[in-house]
């Protein structure tokens, strides 16, 4: 006999809590059941769309649900009966169209094209043909957002016992910041209700509408959870990008920062600081050009290029070393001065002037001795974001794979847990191909300010409403309270 999943939840609180938590990591029995049944339906060529609470979850409203709703045609339902009943699935009672996964005990309810939501009586909104109302993602076919909202509105409007459906629509409006004109995609029967619910969301305290940036080509209402997360990161990154150039403060020393900020008069200071930014704190590394200037009077390139290798080493090491690896860094510095003199006629600004492509700039930094991909991309990213240097494009500037960024990407569910820096670089390329490093800035900010290794302060983090880690903590709290 198959034990019902919902009964197990009621009987075993500890297990229910665990399931609740796993649900938000998409590993609960309900998620596994959904994967299994959708795979079977696809194998049998039965058109379907995932509806109900799991479709809601897919579209961004994440709450625990204990069953799976699947929309099929009447012919599809016949095939389901013929091919699935008794073969890993059992009807909840004799003759029922609702099956139970024999292994997990999770209930699978089949909704049928042409039937009516809510009170079940004829009305202008009926369950659509799945072939005409789905979007596919990760090999699963989901009810499209307009259809989901339309059905929930019609259901809540006509059945007093289904008011929860109206609350679900409110939540979708809030979480996805659905615009007023989204209502135009809905059946006229439900449009007024949509407008009414949207107005109530707007009037509620703390209501906030977020316009996703144009870099995301999908209309706002098609966004999935991951799109939403990436949209918020991109939006934050673009705020930095679009801001006016300001005096940057990397070192905590006004005079040292002044030298770095003088990109026009001392562009080589920026290049040399980038070279030094390894195996030591950012503050100390970026102050090295200023410390060198203190040691030999000024930082004019005409003076630097006259230094011998021995003199460079002496200035780098005496009276005390400026870097943790003074010998290696002295060689890098001497080599950089020679390259700037030879390749750029003594003017390091030629590396990034005249709107080069991002690939050219990254490559030029990469050519300096001791510079790997991380520093080359960091240099290009700082020029664009902090110094507002225009490039022809930004597509070759990769994310850094910094430890903060790795942690935040993982907690946001953009990568597996404990991703390698390379994994982060690749996923950032996939998620933000026009400017992969744009995701770096907000991720770093989140990691530095709120997403600390031991105790993330999710309540203060602007990703809280979409972050799977934060939501799973909230869910566990809700279940246990
Ligand atoms: S909501 Fe919490 S876990 Fe998620 S990114 Fe922010 S601080 Fe990290």
Tens of pLDDT, residue by residue over 375-387, are: 999 999 999 999 9
- Is the CB of 293 inside a 6 Å radius of any atom of ligand 1? no
How confident is the model over 118-136, as a mean pLDDT? 89
Q: Which residues pair with 135 in a beta bridge?
A: 142
CATH value at residue 298: 1.10.340.30
Question: What tens digit of pLDDT does each residue of 1-24 get?
Answer: 666 777 766 666 666 666 766 666
User: What gap in Å lies between CA 252 and CA 241, rounded to an integer?
Assistant: 23
pLDDT at 479: 39
pLDDT at 290: 96
How confident is the model over 306-315, as a mean pLDDT? 95
How confident is the model over 124-145, as a mean pLDDT? 87
Assign 478 a pLDDT band (cuts: 50, 70, 90): very low
User: What gap in Å lies between CA 293 and CA 299, rounded to an integer?
Assistant: 5
pLDDT at 369: 95
- Is the CB of 464 inside a 6 Å radius of any atom of ligand 1? yes
**Block residue for tokens 């001791």:** 370
Assign 219 a pLDDT band (cuts: 50, 70, 90): very low
Neighbours of 389 (CB within 10 A): 19
- Is the CB of 411 inside a 6 Å radius of any atom of ligand 1? yes
Of the candidates 451, 434, 340, the residue with the CA atom closest to the CA atom of residue 396: 434
Residue 135, H or E segment? strand 134-137
Tell me the pLDDT of the chain averaged across its residues: 86
Q: Are residues 63 and 197 in the same domain?
A: yes
Higher model confidence: residue 471 or residue 480? 471
Q: Which residues, other chains included, contact 172 with Cβ-Cβ below 8 Å and sequence gap of 6+?
A: 56, 59, 60, 61, 145, 148, 149, 178
Q: Are residues 185 and 301 in the same domain?
A: no
Q: Are residues 289 and 171 in the same domain?
A: no
The tokens of 454 are what?
């031991």
Assign 224 a pLDDT band (cuts: 50, 70, 90): low
Q: Are residues 156 and 289 in the same domain?
A: no
Look at residue 116 and tell me whether its pLDDT is greater than 70.
Answer: yes
pLDDT at 281: 87
**Hey, whose CA ends up nearest to atom 2 of ligand 1?**
458
Assign 132 a pLDDT band (cuts: 50, 70, 90): confident
CB 65 within 8 A of CB 153: no
Supply the range of the domain harboring residue 16: 5-205
Assign 222 a pLDDT band (cuts: 50, 70, 90): very low
Q: Are residues 151 and 15 in the same domain?
A: yes
Q: Which residues, other chains included, contact 129 with Cβ-Cβ below 8 Å and sequence gap of 6+?
A: 47, 73, 113
CB 303 within 8 A of CB 337: no
The tokens of 382 are what?
């700082």
Q: Which atom of ligand 1 lies at the shortest distance from residue 467's CA?
A: 4
Phi, psi (degrees; rounded to nearest 5) at 45: 60, 35
Q: Which residues, other chains included, contact 268 with Cβ-Cβ below 8 Å and sequence gap of 6+?
A: 299, 301, 304, 336, 337, 340, 348
Domains in the chain, number: 2
Tell me if 65 is assigned to some domain.
yes
Q: What is the CA radius of gyration of the chain?
A: 29
- DSSP-based three-state secondary structure for 56: helix
- Is the CB of 469 inside a 6 Å radius of any atom of ligand 1? yes
Spacing, Cα 410 to ligand 1 middle (Å): 10
Q: Are residues 158 and 272 in the same domain?
A: no
Spacing, Cα 25 to ligand 1 middle (Å): 14
Look at residue 206 and tell me whether its pLDDT is greater than 70.
Answer: no
Phi, psi (degrees; rounded to nearest 5) at 97: -90, -5
Look at residue 171 and tell me whether its pLDDT is greater than 70.
Answer: yes
Last residue of a domain, one of 365, 385, 405: 385
Spacing, Cα 384 to ligand 1 middle (Å): 27
Tell me if 441 is assigned to some domain.
no
Tell me if 189 is assigned to some domain.
yes
Q: Are residues 39 and 181 in the same domain?
A: yes
**Hey, whose CA ends up nearest to atom 8 of ligand 1?**
451
Indicate if the alpha-carbon torsion angle 378, 381, 385, 386 is positive or negative: positive
Q: Are residues 20 and 81 in the same domain?
A: yes
Q: Are residues 30 and 166 in the same domain?
A: yes
Last residue of a domain, one of 385, 402, 423: 385
Q: Are residues 18 and 120 in the same domain?
A: yes
pLDDT at 480: 40
- Is the CB of 463 inside a 6 Å radius of any atom of ligand 1? yes
Choose the weakest-confidence range: 22-31, 57-66, 236-245, 443-452.
22-31
Q: Which atom of ligand 1 lies at the shortest distance from residue 456's CA?
A: 7
- Is the CB of 362 inside a 6 Å radius of any atom of ligand 1? no
**Hey, whose CA ends up nearest to atom 7 of ligand 1?**
451
pLDDT at 368: 96
Of the candidates 64, 50, 55, the residue with the CA atom closest to the CA atom of residue 111: 50
Look at residue 264 and tell me whether its pLDDT is greater than 60.
Answer: yes
**Block residue for tokens 């020393």:** 253
Q: Which atom of ligand 1 lies at the shortest distance from residue 407's CA?
A: 8
């Amino acid at each position: 006999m198959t034990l019902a999943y919902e009964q197990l939840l009621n009987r075993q609180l500890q297990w229910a809590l665990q399931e609740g938590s796993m649900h938000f990591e998409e590993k609960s029995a309900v998620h596994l059941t959904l994967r299994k049944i959708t795979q079977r339906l696809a194998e049998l060529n039965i058109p379907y769309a995932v509806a109900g609470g799991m479709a809601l979850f897919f579209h961004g409203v994440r709450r625990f649900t204990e069953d799976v709703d699947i929309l099929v045609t009447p012919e599809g339902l016949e095939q389901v009966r013929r091919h699935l009943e008794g073969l890993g699935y059992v009807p909840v009672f004799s003759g029922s169209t609702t099956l139970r996964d024999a292994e997990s005990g999770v209930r699978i309810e089949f909704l049928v094209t042409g039937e009516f939501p809510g009170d079940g009586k004829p009305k202008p909104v009926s369950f659509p043909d799945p072939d005409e109302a789905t979007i596919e993602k990760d090999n699963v076919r989901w009810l499209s957002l307009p259809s989901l909202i339309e059905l929930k509105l019609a259901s809540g409007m006509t059945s007093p016992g289904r008011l929860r459906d109206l609350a679900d629509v409110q939540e979708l409006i809030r979480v996805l910041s659905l615009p007023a004109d989204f209502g135009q995609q809905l059946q006229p029967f439900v449009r007024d209700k949509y407008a009414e619910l949207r107005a109530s969301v707007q009037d509620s305290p703390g209501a906030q509408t977020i316009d996703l940036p144009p870099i995301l080509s999908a209309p706002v209402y098609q966004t999935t959870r991951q799109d939403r997360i990436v949209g918020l990161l991109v939006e934050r990154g673009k705020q930095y990008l679009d801001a006016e150039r300001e005096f940057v403060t990397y070192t905590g020393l006004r005079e040292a920062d002044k030298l770095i900020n003088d990109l026009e008069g001392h562009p080589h200071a920026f290049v040399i600081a980038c070279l030094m930014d390894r195996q030591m704190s950012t503050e100390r590394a970026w102050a090295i050009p200023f410390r060198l200037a203190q040691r030999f009077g000024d930082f004019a390139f005409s003076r630097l290029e006259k230094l011998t290798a021995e003199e460079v080493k002496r200035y780098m090491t005496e009276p005390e070393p400026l870097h943790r690896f003074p010998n290696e860094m002295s060689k890098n510095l001497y080599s950089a001065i020679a390259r700037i003199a030879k390749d750029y006629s003594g003017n390091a600004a030629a590396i990034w002037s005249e709107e080069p492509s991002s690939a050219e700039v990254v490559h030029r930094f990469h050519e300096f001795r001791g510079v790997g991909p991380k520093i080359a991309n960091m240099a290009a990213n700082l020029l664009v974001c902090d110094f507002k240097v225009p490039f022809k494009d930004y597509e070759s500037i990769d994310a850094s794979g910094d430890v903060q960024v790795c942690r935040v990407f993982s907690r946001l569910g953009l990568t597996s847990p404990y991703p390698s820096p390379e994994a982060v670089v690749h996923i950032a390329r996939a998620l933000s191909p026009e400017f992969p490093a744009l995701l770096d800035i907000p991720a770093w900010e989140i990691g530095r300010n709120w997403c600390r290794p031991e105790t993330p302060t999710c309540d203060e983090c602007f990703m809280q409403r979409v972050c799977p880690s934060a939501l799973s903590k909230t869910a566990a709290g809700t279940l246990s309270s």
